[in-house]
Structure 1
Amino acid sequence: MRALCAVCKTHYSTVQGLKHHLTTHSRHVSESDKRFICDECGAKFVTKSNLQVHINWEHFKINTHRCTKCTKIFRSRNALTRHVNYVHNKKRPPRNKICDYCGRAFTTQTILQSHIRTHTGERPLHCAHCPATFAHSAALYTHNKLLHTPK
């Protein structure tokens, strides 16, 4: 059975996965649910482990989660594992971000949001040099390179 978080547009393979998401993801918890506070900077977290990851990365600059196959360094063991699986082991990331307009599935929320603009016509990116607007960052980049880069 697949479970959907309607707010994040993310599907989970189990109801337990969805419940975990709803109780830990910052989009779904209130500030009062974030009981673990960083003494150094005041950042708040729902879980003690997320606080520890924050402290190790931001304040102690501990970067023990290094990929042995390339030079990348990661904030957490989970992020490193994801990287190794999807980049080096060529596993496909789950396409669990679903477009409400056409049903197409995407691997990240960012890609989904960019895709949704093809349906809505939204063009939130603005050229700094002229009135042109764009739906996608790649289009803005190409525009700037072709029209506003000195030759």
Structure 2
Amino acid sequence: MLSNVCRVCGRQKICERSLNLFDLVNRKYLKHLHMITGLRLVALDNVPGFMCLCCQSELRSALAFRKLCIKTQKKWLSIEEDSSSDEESDECATVSSFRETKDDKVLEETFQVLIEEEPEEPEESQFLSDCIPNKEIDETAVPPRKILRTTRKPKTDDQIYICKLCGTQATSKTVYQRHMKKHTGDRPFGCQDCEARFLTAAELRAHLRVHSGEQPFACRFCEKRYVSYMGRVNHERIHTNERPYVCEECGKKFTTAYVLKNHMVIHTGERQFRCDPCDRFFQRKSHLVTHFRSMMHLQKVKSQETKTT
């Protein structure tokens, strides 16, 4: 039935977390939709009035992107106003015309180079030699560079590699070998500035940015920057509210696999972090660290030290 689908996308089914657009509490969403799309939604008979969770996430992402564009445009306008107040209008016109002329010249030279490097077709070369038969051919001239085009062969290997230790599946041998290094502990790429070691050269290059302070990955919605691509992706989920990791037990969604793994402890009941002096186990490492600071643990350690002495 139409009443069970989203009013915005018309595809997703409504759920418990869907919002009634025409409820007075949610009227701001109608304003945001009009701001982004220019549409004024009104309540209609036999037409759904709820917005699904996916559309809510897309709307937040669009609003964040709109806010970023407006903020950036204001920055450019302020720079333009400052430059116009410092320089005369005729000087600005001269500089702009010089830049345009220079840019046109660079584009023309680049286009000319591309034409000169393009290899001639055999028929065209033969036609030119027939039209100019008396012209001597310079054998010492450097022939135009040829563009080498390589075509990749279609992948025919559909073999699936399964890890015998944990059951993880890999679609390529390279990914499988990289996964097996996690079990063997083989980390051939070491950092020269610290004792950290990594599975691949790419992980090492990303780690070196920690020492150099380089942060090439900028958030698309705010001014924060990160040393790795995945760091930026995980941060941007705060703006988009994207939660791709879903718990199979309760259906809760999380932004990273690490948070999902910590959540699964609630269902499995696993307690792998142990305090040896107190003979106690904890579900999370943070709980164990908190226990180390507790008075009960400190008294236990102190009593054991007095017994040994």
| Alignment TM-score, normalising by the size of structure 1 | 0.52
Whether contact under 8 Å (1:53, 1:75) holds in the other structure is yes
Match of 1:78 among 214, 230, 235: 230
**RMSD of equivalent CA atoms:** 4.2
Q: Which residue of 1 aligns with 2:276?
A: none
Q: Which residue of 2 aligns with 1:87?
A: 238
Post-superposition Cα deviations, 1:50-107, rounded to whole Å, max 9, x if no partner, equal 10000112x11111222142243322123213432x2223333232x65xxx575653
Paired AA for residue 113 in structure 1: N
In the TM superposition, structure 1's runs of 4+ consecutive aligned residues that sit over 6 Å from their partners are 4-9
Q: Which residue of 2 aligns with 1:35?
A: 188
Gaps of at least 5 residues in structure 2 are 1-161, 272-280, 298-309
Shift in alpha-carbon separation, 1:46–1:83, aligned structure 2, 3 A: same
Shift in alpha-carbon separation, 1:115–1:24, aligned structure 2, 3 A: closer
Instruction: Note the C-alpha offset of 1:112.
Output: 3.8
| Alignment TM-score, normalising by the size of structure 2 | 0.29
Measured in 1, the distance between the counterparts of 2:195 and 2:205 equals 13
Measured in 1, the distance between the counterparts of 2:243 and 2:222 equals 19
| Mapping of residues 1-20 of structure 1, within 5 Å | 15-16=170-171, 20=175
Gaps of at least 5 residues in structure 1 are 132-151
Match of 2:202 among 49, 55, 69: 49
Paired AA for residue 92 in structure 1: R
Identity in percent: 18
Which structure would you say has the larger RCO, counting Cα contacts within 8 Å and 6 or more residues apart?
Answer: 1
Relative to its length, the structure with more helix (as a share) is 2
Relative to its length, the structure with more strand (as a share) is 1
- Kindly tell me the number of residue pairs found equivalent between the two proteins: 118
